[in-house]
Amino acid sequence: MRKQGRRRRITNAAMSAAAFACVIIALVPLASILYSAAVEGGKAIGPAFFTQNEPPPCSPTLQANCPTGGIANALQGTLILVGIATLIALPLGILTGIYLSEYGRLSRFGAGVRFVTDVMTGIPSIVVGIVIFAIFLLVAQAGWIPLRYVTSATSGIVALTVIMTPIVARTVEEALRLVPTTIREAALALGIPRWRAILRIVLSTGKAGVVTGALLAVARASGETAPLIVTAGGSFFGFAGFDQSIAAMPLLIYVNGLSGVPNYVTLAWGTALVLILIMLGISLAARLALHRVLKGAGAAR
């Protein structure tokens, strides 16, 4: 009896230790990534880093002459791509979220849309990229748009929009679902038309959730690389028009990280550091906003 109890206690302790070890093992890569980005990337950060454009391809044998350059054009490109994609995805996603929460909550069609939106958040982003490329190519071959739009800022924006919209829609839906029914009833009882009640009252009650959705989508889009390789195309220069290819920070990391030229690799680490800081900032802000959503819902109940 006693022996058995000891074995159970030992198993208990061993399992607890193993579970704790899992946490530690998972945190090692995180620490290593953050450390490398801080140390290697820190070397790149300077005045030129934010003001100069990405350096052109350079032969590794002439390393000494390779100019280090900066991320000015990539930063500008990411701001343009993500900024405009957000402007399109936000209203589209919010309206879809409103449909899911306010109109389609109980209907079969609503359940279908919800399911499809969920599945869409799981589509590999590279597939989104090549489909947008294929669609642009089809439209261009039909003669509706010039061929140069196929690899351009425009197709990059469309690809990011497609990635962002389902994320916004689902987060907004979840946030609006937490808005108490009594608030809707109160609005209707006052004679406010339903559309105004939704936009002015339900949506503003759930605005922290809308902010969370927007932040999550922006974070996702800022780090996206694969779809931009096949749509936006990358560039060594600043924004040159919506029909031209455009630079982006993730593309800069990809190209320069693999270049083998030491100062280019440092530049890639510097960009990675900036990107990580942006993502951590957004992640933190989203967490705070989410905290407010949940607290708000708790208080209302």
Partner 1 sequence: MGIANRFPWGSRRRASRGEALPDRLFRGLVFGCALAVSALLVVFVLVLFRQSWPTITAFGWGFLFSSSWNTGAVVGSGQSYGALPFVYGTLVTAAIAMLLGIPLSIGIAIFVSELAPPWVKTPLAVLVELLAAVPSVVYGLWGFLILGPTMRTTIEPPLKAVLGWTPLFGGPIFGIDYLTAGVILAIMVIPTISAVTRESMSAVPEHQREAALSLGATRWETTRLGVLSYARVGIFGAIILGLGRAVGETMAVTMTIGNSNTISGSLLAPGQTIASLIANEFGEASGLQVSALLELGLVLLLIAIAINVVARLLTRRIFQTEATTL
Retrieve residue 225's tokens.
């690389």
Retrieve residue 11's tokens.
């198993």
Measured between alpha carbons, how far is 132 from 226 in angstroms, rounded to an integer? 12
Of 96, 160, 84, 157, nearest to 128 by C-alpha is: 160
Q: Residue 50 or 284: which CB sits closer to partner 1?
A: 284
Measured between alpha carbons, how far is 218 from 241 in angstroms, rounded to an integer? 22
Q: Residue 81 or 286: which CB sits closer to partner 1?
A: 286
Q: Residue 28 or 47: which CB sits closer to partner 1?
A: 28
Minimum CB–partner distance for residue 170 and partner 1 (Å):
4
Q: Residue 31 or 46: which CB sits closer to partner 1?
A: 31
Minimum CB–partner distance for residue 92 and partner 1 (Å):
6
Are the beta carbons of 274 and 71 closer than 8 angstroms? yes
Minimum CB–partner distance for residue 267 and partner 1 (Å):
11
Q: Residue 47 or 192: which CB sits closer to partner 1?
A: 192
Residue with tokens 């350096």: 55
Sequence-distant (≥ 6) Cβ neighbours of residue 50 within 8 angstroms: 70, 71, 72, 75
Minimum CB–partner distance for residue 85 and partner 1 (Å):
15
Minimum CB–partner distance for residue 19 and partner 1 (Å):
4
